[in-house]
């Protein structure tokens, strides 16, 4: 679920309980209403829980000039040798 600064839901995606949270498709579907003209698609800041502290999401935020406000994980994940992960 994506909410504005006042806690008003802007968009949400329902998924099964076993599915992992997918942030990028959710963020790509948000339209922020404001001044007249084309609606904004990107916010300036993004607040999230520490489960969203992932390198690929931080690259996404950098690409779209969003300032993430995410608590850091206590122990960063270390890639292990073996087969590359599949998405």
pLDDT at 18 over 70: no
Give the chain's largest Cα–Cα span: 52
46 DSSP β-pair partners: 68
Name residues whose C-beta falls within 8 Å of residue 24's C-beta, 6 or more positions apart in sequence: 57, 60
Domain boundaries, the chain: 2-69
pTM for the whole thing?
0.52
- What's the angle, vertex CA 19, arms to CA 87 and CA 12, rounded to 5? 105
Q: Give the pLDDT score at 24.
A: 64
pLDDT at 71 over 70: yes
Region of 59 please: left (phi>0), alpha (psi -120 to 50) or beta. alpha
């Amino acid at each position: 679920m994506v909410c504005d600064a006042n806690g008003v839901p802007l968009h949400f995606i329902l998924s099964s309980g076993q599915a992992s949270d997918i942030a990028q498709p959710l963020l790509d579907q948000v339209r922020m209403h404001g001044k007249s003209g084309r609606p904004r698609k990107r916010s300036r800041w993004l607040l999230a829980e520490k489960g969203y502290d992932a390198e690929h999401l931080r690259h996404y935020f950098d690409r779209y000039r969003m300032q993430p406000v995410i608590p850091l994980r206590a122990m960063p994940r270390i890639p292990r040798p073996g087969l590359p992960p599949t998405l």
